[in-house]
Chain A
Amino acid sequence: MLGDLLLMPFVAGLLITGVLGLAGAGLFLRGSVWQALALGQWAAVGGVLASVLHWPVLLVALVLGTGMMALLQRSTDRERLPLGVFLAGLAAVTLLAANFSQASLAAAAWAEGQLYFAGPNELWAVAVLAVASILLAPGLYRVWRHAQLAPDVPATRLPPTWQRLTEIGWLVAAVVLGSMVLGLPAALATLLLPAWGAAYLARNLRGLFLWTQAIALAGFLIAWSLSLPLNQPFAPVLVLVNVALASGARLAASVYGERNR
């Protein structure tokens, strides 16, 4: 199934899926799903804008994504502001696509995903992020666990500022790179849906992370196996597979819960 041409996209896709699964579990624990939507959309704005200006895509997407995340972090509004920022990003992409032909092509690429065309640059970037994720995981876990306690005040200290900033920077990198490799809808589906399904199945925090990874990686493998032989774009297939898996997880948890009541 994996020819030489497809090995690199497959490995890059698998690695970024693992990273996005971890980020998704973290976003679920932080209750920041709207932020992910806004951040992903502004990463796409960065990518489209870079195509117009002939600037490096990853760099521009990271800069815009970081700027938007910094803005969102300054507000306690977790719903309306991120939604407004998301809509503004959608409008920006649409306007760029309407006025520049190369922007139109880039916007389509961000929407459909360019996984099959992932090359050495994407693979290296994803591999570096995957290694960084493993190294940062204990600190990320600490930040997310501590975020569950408020309004109770614990004996444990608030994670230091550098650790909280690192978490935000890592999230930005995961969403931007994920959107670039998988396409925006597929990246968002991998961020939001496996963690949501896992939250019904898991018995504890560790279970949340393991189930999220299992659902995310299964979703990627199923979508890969379906989209190639059926000659379909990868991103929409992955979205539908993740919707089915997350809904199935929720249903299974509810059936199991009823049986054990």
Chain B
Amino acid sequence: MPDTHMPTESSSPILHTRAAYLGFDRPVLGPLTLDVPIGSRWALTGPNGIGKSLLLKALTGQARVHRGHLELAPQARISLLAQDHPRRQPWPLSGHDWFRAMGAQPPEQARVRALMDRRLDRLSGGQWQLLRLAAALASHAVHPPAQRLVLLDEPANHLDAEVRHDAIELITSLPGGTTLLMTSHDDDFLEAAGVERHPLTEYIHAG
């Protein structure tokens, strides 16, 4: 049985895993041992299929911890931008509806504001990705930054040249103290976003 006890000391990392085996029906990633400090900006890197997205899903309860420990700080408030979000046709939701559903306030950024009254099924792929990213980054903004854990799974996907700069600006303007854990294959994007690169393979078998 996985240990689900959570660390309680204030100096604890926001995420601590030790010899954790993760998967859906059966374990496919592990043993994984890593600590993510509060306030850090990490990008998990590595080849496709290694389990980067799986780790994010395990943190949001969409995948299972089969063995070992995966512990989140008790005060952690998680939001996740999933790798892909196919839109139904027709889908009569506006940008305002989306932010309301995500429990987030729209940022001041002009390009995001311009999307708020538009229907989600009529946005370009890049605009849709920008809007989702903005909502995920603005989630839990009412809580202290040290409690926020923002998970972004391949946020650079679908971003065209028009909105790429806006996406980077949103990420870099996250309040200090907020923990960011993302996955991406886009080195230029990671460079511009100013995040630390951590190859996931370095944390497998480490326990």
Contact = CB atoms under 8 A, between A and B. Distances in A.
Interface of A: 31, 145-146, 148-149, 151-156, 198-200, 202-205, 207-208
Interface string B31-62: 00000000000000000000000000000101
Contacts of B91: 199
A149 B94 CA distance: 13
B60 A156 contact: no
B119 A204 contact: yes
A148 B90 contact: no
B170 interface: no
Contact of A203 (B79, B94, B102, B136): B94
A67 B140 CA distance: 39
Q: Which of A146, A198, A205 counts the most chain B CB atoms within 10 A?
A: A205
A121 to B, nearest CB: 37
A172 B106 CA distance: 37
B113 to A, nearest CB: 16
The B contact surface, by secondary structure, is mixed
Given A155-B102, A156-B102, A148 B93 contact: yes
B92 A202 contact: yes
Nearest to B81: A152
Contacts of B90: 199-200
A204 B93 contact: yes
Contacts of A152: 79-82, 85, 102, 132, 135-136
A153 B93 contact: no
Interface string B98-118: 101111100000000000010
Nearest to B100: A145
Contacts of B135: 152, 154
7 contacts: A149-B101, A152-B79, A152-B136, A155-B104, A155-B140, A200-B92, A204-B119
Nearest to A199: B90
Contacts, number: 73
Nearest to B139: A155
Interface in B69-104: 77-82, 84-85, 88, 90-94, 96-98, 100-104
Interface in B171-205: none
A203 B88 contact: no
B93 A205 contact: yes
Nearest to A206: B97
Contact of B79 (A146, A148, A153): A153
Contact of B97 (A156, A198, A205): A205
Contacts of B77: 155
A203 B101 contact: no
Contact of B101 (A31, A151, A154, A199): A154
Contacts of B119: 203-204
B102 A207 contact: no
A203 B117 contact: yes
Contacts of B81: 152
B148 to A, nearest CB: 9
Given A146-B101, A205-B93, A205-B94, A31 B136 contact: no
Which are the 5 A-B pairs with shortest beta-carbon distances?
A: A155-B139, A156-B103, A155-B103, A204-B94, A153-B80
B87 to A, nearest CB: 10
Contacts of B100: 145
Interface string B135-151: 11001100000000001
A38 B130 CA distance: 39
A145 B151 CA distance: 22
A157 to B, nearest CB: 8
B172 to A, nearest CB: 21
Contacts of B94: 203-205
A151 B153 CA distance: 11
Contacts of B151: 153
B103 A151 contact: no
Nearest to B86: A151
A156 B101 contact: yes
A19 B80 CA distance: 35
A154 B60 CA distance: 10
Contacts of B117: 203-204
Contacts of A203: 92, 94, 117, 119
Nearest to A154: B102
